[in-house]
Structure formats: structure tokens, C-alpha cells
Amino acid sequence: MLSLKKSCALGAAAIVLAGAAGFALAQDKEAILKDRQATMKEQGKDLQNVKAYLDGKGDLAQAKEGATNLTKTTNKIPALFPPGTGGPNPSGDYVAKPVIWSDWDKFLEAQRAAATKANALVVAVNGGDRAAIEAAFGDLGKNGCGGCHTTFREKIEK
Amino acid sequence: MTGGPSRSKSARIYSLITTFSWALGGAVVAAALALMGTAAAAPPANTVTRGAYLAAAAGCDQCHTDSKNAGRAYAGGRTLETSLGTVVSPNITPDPDTGIGRWQFADFARALRWGIAPDDTHYLQAFPFPFYNHLTDADVADLKAFLETVSPISQANHADGASLLPAARARAAIAVVDQRFRGPLVSDPSRDATWNRGAYLVATVGRCGDCHTPRNFFGTPDPGRLFAGSSAGPGGKHVPNITPDPATGIGQWSEEDIVNLLKDGQTPEFDFVGGAMAEIVHNTSRLDAADRHAIAVYLKSLPPIRSEKKGR
């Protein structure tokens, strides 16, 4: 059996540890949110490179690079949403909805759909057919990005 | 409006409107009969094609299909949470018993234009009939012709949710008399065909004002703040100002930016919209490029209205 003194010391240590863990978690959340926002912006840039080609304002090499990046970043999405990273987001306009974690399988399904559409965009860009690229771009944007943004993202009312 | 119309006054206006709508229905039937006189018994294929295009643009299938539960197209059953209560969309396939297969043209036109069912009950404005009021006779006929070609599905309609109070229906009925129903949109001869086409699409199947214009107590859009955004959109969310005000609206968007949003849901910042607008984008992405361009031209021409906050 532990002495009173010993258990008090253990208790205090536990409180300190829990506090430190909480602090670390808060730090983590901030870092995660930053990484998440940066990744989404990066995806926007990559899509912009594909769109620029479609609009005759950019070259095919850049479109290829953008599409290839998107196949990587769409697969990074689950890692950007660890549990406990929903809720308040002081630096952004949107929050991740709790349904992401209450129905993680559905979230993964949507993420995989986006990743599949990104792969299809690479195939289309490599094929070089403008109409096919346009269709794949629209499908990824509207149903891939837009699909997730409908079910799993919410605007912060300011 | 101060206080709302008195009971006797609203009852009088109501009966007037009902009479008027019947007269209109009669006129539509006469027009349809005249049309049928010149055409063969079966509607021409291009009528159905045009109707299908309009139905896709309006997104009839989106509300009238219970996609989440693998429901059949146009057979209804989708639950819609609205500010007026929970509504379950009805079956609009041509099934004679559970759908609209027995509806005459006048029934269809009255439901679409006035939100009044053949049994004289009022639909809630979850069904955007105030916008379909502005459809041309030809477009209403085309929509009906298309819906007659949809697979008939026998699926009984569900009752609306329990949260739906009779007061909500009463409000819906008052909105019918409170709103200015001008019938088919009249072209503005001082504007070109593109502008007029854009105005027509926005006023009818696009129904942008449904969410982007604030409403009064009876659910009537505020005519002084058309398209200036609303603080009480779907799900109680703020809806952006889409007038060309540079600071609070979309004045800094080019026509191309608007077209991109309507086509793929893509904003100028390369974000992709979600929520209620994503559903609208599914409709506008089914328009042809010329129609999306027409909407952009029209929206850019609107008088800019400043809103309280950016985007609202």
C-alpha cells in the first residue's frame, strides 16, 4: 500500500503530467490547424494550375505538376484530422464538423473519393484531351472538394 | 409591413387570388389546347428535351428524390429541414395513384405557379413556387411534358413532420397574397437577349433570391434588398450578398469568376463551395455555357447594395 505522502506526490505528478499533455495537445491542435489550412490552400494552388491550362493561361507541364500534387495531398487528409481538432478555429473562417469523428468511415469514404478523382485528373492531364481534363477538374472540384465541404465543413458565424 | 393584413382583408384577397389563379389556369389550358391543336398527339421530342433541361437547371430531382436512402428518381420522400418545419418532398412521377399522373395541365400550372395543390391546400415555400410563377407558359408545358416521361413509381407520400404547425401553413397562405406574383417574366426591351436570359434564369429556375434575399415575417423576400444576402438562410446560416457592391458583395468578381462558381463551385480563391450552394451548383453545372454566362452578365448588372457585414 502507498503511503499518504507517496500517493500525494504521485497525484501531483499526475496533475503536472496531465497539464503538460493538455498544453501539448493545444499546441498540437494549433499546428494541425495550420497544416490543414496550408494543405487546403496548396490544393487550391494546384487546382489553379490545372484551371490556368484549361483557360489557355498556363502550360500543360504545370497542370501535370498540380494534378500529381493533388494525388499526394488528397491522401494526406486523414492525417490532418486527428480526434480533438474540431471546434473553435480562431485563425480560420471554417471549422471541421464533429461528424468527421463520429462517422470516421464516412469521412474516409469521402476522402478516398476525392483521391480517386485526383488520380482521374492525372490520367486526363496525361492524356492531354482538354474536354476530358475539364470534366475531371469539375468532378474533383465539385464532388471531391465540394462533397467534403458540404458534409464535413462549416462556416464560422462571425 | 405593419402588423399584417386583417383577417377579413386577407380572406378577401385570398379569394381574389384563388379566383385569379383559376382564371389563369383556364387561360393556360386554353393555350395548351391551342398548342395541342397544332402539334401531334405525342409531345414533340424537343419539348421533352427542353423540359428535361429546365428540370435539371431547377434541380427538381434533388428535392424530389430521396438519394440518401437510394430512393427512385422524382418519387419524393426526401426530408427537408426548413425554417417552417420538417417537410417531406412528394412523389412527382406520373404514377396515377401516388404521383401526379392524374394531374391535368391546369393542376400542374397552379401547383407550380401558385403553390396550390389540386385539393386546394397550400404548399410551404420549401417548394419555390414564387419563382416558378415567373416561368413562361411554354416552359411550364415543357416541364410537364418531361415529367410525363419519367418512370412512374408507386410510392405513397409521407406526412410532413410533426414540427410543422398549422401556423406555418397559414403563413404560407398569407405569403401567397403578400407576394407580388406577376406571372411570366416580361423581357426588358432596353436590354439585350443575354441579359434577359440571365434575368429569366435567376428569377425562375435559378431562384437565387430564395436564399440571397432577406425575408419578412411572412417569408416574403424584401424587395428593397434583392440579392443583398440574408442572415437567416438554410440551417440558420448567413447567405452572402451577391450584388456587385465592391466591399460587401461580389463587385470584385469578374463574369468569369461567377461562371466558374456556377460551373464547378469554384470561388476566385480556389476554394470549392459546400453546403446549400453546393446543391445549387449541381443544378447550374447542368446549364450550358451560354446560360451560365447570361446569369453572370445579369448579376453584374444589378444595382450594388451595401450590406452590414462583408458577404451578408
How sure is the predictor about B172, in pLDDT bands with cuts at 50, 70 and 90?
Answer: low
Q: For residue B102, what are the contacts with CB-CB under 8 A and spacing of at least 6? A: B96
B238: contact with A, CB 8 A cutoff: yes
CA–CA gap between residue B190 and residue B187 (Å, rounded): 9
Q: Is A53 on the interface with B (CB under 8 A)?
A: no
pLDDT tens sequence across B35-78 = 443 434 556 779 999 999 999 999 999 999 999 999 999 999 99
Q: Which residue has the higher pLDDT, B120 or B194?
A: B194
The residue among A77, A107, A145 with the most chain B CBs within 10 A of its CB, best to mutate, is A145
Q: Residue B124 contacts by C-beta under 8 Å, 6 or more apart in sequence?
A: B82, B84, B85, B87, B115, B160, B164, B168, B169, B172
* Residue B269: CB atoms within 10 Å: 10
Answer yes or no: are the C-beta atoms of A71 and A115 closer than 8 Å. yes
Q: For residues B221 and B40, what is the distance between their CA atoms, to the nearest angstrom?
A: 42
For residue B162, the model assigns a pLDDT of 52
User: HEC states along B238-292?
Assistant: CECCCCCCCCCCCCCCCHHHHHHHHHHCECCCCCECCHHHHHHHHHHCCCCHHHH
Residues 6+ apart with CB under 8 A from A107: A78, A81, A99, A100, A101, A152
Q: Quick check: B274 and A150 CB within 8 A?
A: yes
Residue B167 burial by CB count (10 A; 0-12/13-18/19+): exposed, middle or buried? exposed
Mean pLDDT for chain A? 87
- β-partners of residue B239 are B230
**Partners of residue B159 on adjacent β-strands:** none
ipTM surpassing 0.95, yes or no? no
* Number of residues that make up chain B: 312
Nearest to B182 by CA among B108, B114, B116, B117: B114
Which one is predicted more confidently, B224 or B4?
B224
Q: Which pLDDT score, from 0 to 100, does residue B207 have?
A: 95
**Amino acid A90: pLDDT:** 80
d(CA A14, CA A12): 5
* Mean pLDDT, residues B183-193: 96
**Residue holding cell 471554417?**
A94
pLDDT digits (tens, 9 = 90+) for A56-115: 999 999 999 999 999 999 999 999 999 999 988 887 889 999 999 999 999 999 999 999
Q: Is B120 on the interface with A (CB under 8 A)?
A: no
Å between A134 CA and nearest CA of chain B: 10
